[in-house]
């Protein structure tokens, strides 16, 4: 049995993701509460990858988005509650509040994988 790894024993470039990312190119929408006022806002986005634990969305204005939101994928009747874990110039890395089933993630990735 090996000892658990901590920040001292991990290699610096080691990917610490728990789930494998699958490339996608699907249209979605993020929905969130407006800052300081009552009401909601939304932005259309493009999901560029997905895993059981989260996804990456691009082509949005990330500075206007709060830390918690709902993500809706076009053609799928589910809302995914998410937390923002990283912000980039044109996108967000989102963590799903509930781990998605692998079968659902595979189906989404096949629907919108590269070349589709």
5, burial (CB in 10 Å: exposed 0-12, middle 13-18, buried 19+): exposed
Residue 22's pLDDT is: 95
> Is residue 52 predicted with pLDDT exceeding 90?
yes
Reported as a single tens digit per residue, the pLDDT across 55-74 is 999 999 888 899 999 999 99
Domains and CATH numbers, the chain: 22-103 (2.40.10.220)
Residues contacting 89, CB < 8 A, separation 6+:
62
Three-state SS at 14: coil
Residue 12's pLDDT is: 52
Q: With bands split at pLDDT 50, 70 and 90, how would you rate the model's confidence at 38?
A: confident
Is the full-model pTM beyond 0.75?
Answer: yes
Round to whole Å and give the CA distance between 70 and 78: 10
Residues contacting 5, CB < 8 A, separation 6+:
none
Both tokens of 113, joined, read 């994988």
């Amino acid at each position: 049995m090996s000892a658990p790894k901590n920040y001292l024993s991990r290699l610096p470039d080691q990917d610490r993701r728990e789930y494998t990312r699958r490339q996608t190119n699907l249209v979605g929408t993020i929905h969130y509460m407006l800052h300081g006022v009552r009401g909601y806002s939304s932005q259309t986005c493009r999901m560029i990858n997905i895993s059981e634990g989260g996804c990456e969305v691009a082509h949005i204005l990330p500075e206007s988005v709060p830390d918690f939101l709902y993500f809706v994928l076009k053609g799928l009747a589910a809302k995914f509650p998410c937390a923002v874990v990283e912000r980039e110039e044109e996108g967000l890395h989102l963590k799903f509040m509930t781990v998605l089933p692998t079968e659902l993630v595979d189906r989404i990735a096949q629907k919108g994988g590269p070349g589709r």
